[in-house]
A and B are shown apart, each in its own frame.
Chain A
Amino acid sequence: MIKREFKVNYKSFIIWTLVLIIMFLVVFLIYPFIITDDTVKNLDEMMKVFPPELLKAFNMDISSINSAYGWLKTEGFMFVLLIVGFYSSILGNNVLLKEESDKTIEYLISLPIKRNKILTNKIIVSITYIVLMVLAIGIFNYIALLFSGDFNQKQYILLSITPILIAFPMFSLNLFISSFLHKTKKTIGISLGLVFFFYLLSVLSELSSKIEFIKYFSIYTLSDTRNVITNININPINILISIGISIFFIILTYVNYNKKELL
């Protein structure tokens, strides 16, 4: 069964990974041509116009986009976090629900297989694809950076791991939500909505110290790329919270899925 799960989810993994890789390929190819002494000067001037809070929200106060690595650390990782978030959310919502939406669940349940095993297989496949996606993008960018000039290897490796900190909780939260639903029709809205919602909370929390507390309501706070860039480490508490949230929602999904009416 697990082999079939890999096959079923293979296409979307390839598409989402290629979207990111092609985007980065284009950036790495054109960046050397657009970054000249003049553009660096203009960019620096432009940055001075932006409010410091806004620059902070996108890590542009601690990293300049006047190099490919600089861009990667700011806007580049924003895209990685968003797209890995979308992929994980959509996967979480679809991986179980597709059987119900396509009505193949009636056939699957009639086979001698436990519900827990069905769920476990789907979780294993999803987690594998999420890790593979993060790895593929990390390795591609690493190779591209080797050709693009100096970069801090340790900082980069830690940065490229951070999407996993948000991907697993996003996946497990969406998986849990999907265990209450019966059709995949509305789930794309839920998946994208949650990613935007959490990302927005995380960005807004950087804009003013008065609303900084809202970061505690966002899964995206766990990526904490700012800390990785400045201190070159990942806060172990974030790792623990990420694992904790993931396990919490996965356990709840097991409980709920075993009780679920598969209509």
Chain B
Amino acid sequence: MNEIILEIKHLKKYYGKTVGVEDISLKLNKGDIYGFIGPNGAGKSTTIRCIIGLINITNGDIFFNGKKIDKDDTSIKEKIGYLPSEINLYEDLTIKELFDYHALFYKKDLSKRRKELSKLLKIDESKRIDDLSLGNLKKVGIVLSLMHEPELLILDEPTSGLDPIMQSVFHNILLEEQKKGTTILYSSHVLSEVSSLCNKIGFIKNGIIIKEDTIENINKNDYNYLTISSSDIEKIKKELNLTIKEENNNTAKFISDIEINTLLKILSKYNIEKLLIENISLEDLFEEYYK
């Protein structure tokens, strides 16, 4: 049985009357890289901020290793690494001073991993934080999130600002981490990196996970555009219970994740005038969900 590292149960977060997150439930098993996909304002960062303890949860629970996360539980925080989308660090410090300061909060020696990461990401520790470009700041953030060898790594738009070479280095670091058993929550809207890195994907829209699946299933092309013309279209719509992309008289275009044989079995009960099945790529799927 897979060991669940992070579990979110019916997370709800309201800012006054404004919805931040409506209802998020997800599970990350040990070694998962979970792609948390959604457009700006969908609730990705709000969910992450609830996990980190920056903001209070309106309803629901978050568990780490089966233990309910309390925002002040330092034993849990020791095992979590966090890279925010917008990094703000102490500008009066050099990178070396910041890394030294960071290490003070952990009960173990972080020097070895710090050296490895600094070397991989080509970081000059003598530079001051306020002199760094966005990309270099991101690299410092990556080291800070990883140097204590966390069990759970939370990354919010981690590659924004990184050049393609560094993105590739970073992805390799993440795959190495995954091999070691690190669980990663990877929030992004760059679909190419999500599809190449993650083994699970959750689509979030208006604070709700509207679709969750393994990348294996998505790549198997179980996702199709399904156009059906039938006099029984209302009954078919009811039975299939799929997202409808377009509708016109007796014709409906669905986004389907039903396996073809199963689908044909269902449809054989009805009078079908026209049937068209087209593949959907991850990009198309994203566009469909967020139209």
Residues of A within 8 A of B (CB): 1, 4, 8, 102-107, 109-116, 258-259, 261-263
Instruction: Decide if A114 touches B54 in the complex (CB within 8 Å).
Output: no
Q: State whether the Cβ of B88 lies closer than 8 Å to any Cβ in chain A.
A: yes
Q: Which of B262-279 contact A (CB under 8 A)?
A: none
Which of B15, B88, B106 touches A107 (beta carbons < 8 Å)? Answer: B88
Residue numbers in B under 8 Å from A103 (CB-CB): 86, 88
B residues near A113, Cβ cutoff 8 Å: 74, 77, 105
23 pairs, CB–CB < 8 Å, chain A vs chain B: A1-B101, A4-B101, A102-B91, A103-B88, A104-B88, A104-B89, A106-B84, A107-B87, A107-B88, A109-B52, A110-B77, A110-B82, A110-B84, A111-B102, A112-B78, A112-B105, A113-B74, A113-B77, A115-B71, A115-B72, A261-B55, A261-B56, A262-B54
Q: In chain A, what residue has the closest Cβ to B97? A: A4
Contacting pair A8 B80 (CB below 8 A): no
Q: Which residues of A contact B52 (CB under 8 A)?
A: 106, 109-110
Contact B92 A8 (CB under 8 A): yes
Contacts of B86 in A (CB 8 A): 103
Closest residue on chain B to residue A262 by CB atoms: B54
| Partner pick for B56 among A102, A109, A116, A259, CB 8 A cutoff | A259
CA distance A103 to B88 in the complex (A): 6
B74 neighbours in A (Cβ, 8 Å): 112-114
Give the complex CA separation of A262 and B105 in angstroms.
20
CB pair B89–A107 under 8 Å, yes or no, is yes
Are the CB atoms of B84 and A114 closer together than 8 Å? Answer: no
Distance of A211 Cα from B105 Cα, bound (Å): 54
Q: Nearest A residue to B79 by beta-carbon distance?
A: A112
Task: Give which listed residue, A1, A8, A112, contacts B106 with CB less than 8 A.
Answer: A112
Which chain B residues numbered 74 to 124 have a C-beta less than 8 Å away from chain A?
A: 74-75, 77-78, 80, 82, 84, 86-92, 101-102, 104-106
Q: Which residues of B contact A110 (CB under 8 A)?
A: 52, 77, 80, 82, 84
CB distance from B81 to the nearest CB of A (A): 8
CB distance from B226 to the nearest CB of A (A): 43
- Of all chain B residues, the one with the shortest Cβ separation from A109 is B54
- Determine the chain A residues whose CB is within 8 A of the CB of B39 once the complex forms: none
| Any A CB within 8 A of the CB of B161 | no
Q: A113-B77, A262-B54 are in contact. List 16 more A-B contacts (CB 8 A).
A: A1-B101, A1-B105, A106-B88, A107-B84, A107-B88, A110-B52, A110-B84, A111-B77, A111-B102, A111-B105, A113-B105, A114-B74, A115-B72, A261-B15, A261-B54, A263-B54
Give the residues in chain B near A263, CB-CB below 8 Å.
Answer: 54-55
CA distance A61 to B72 in the complex (A): 56
B53 on the A face (CB < 8 A): yes
Name which residue of chain A comes closest to B104, CB basis. A1
Q: Is the pair A104, B77 in contact by a Cβ cutoff of 8 Å?
A: no
Residue of A102, A107, A115 with most partner-chain B CB within 10 A: A107
A262 to B88, Cβ gap below 8 A?
A: no
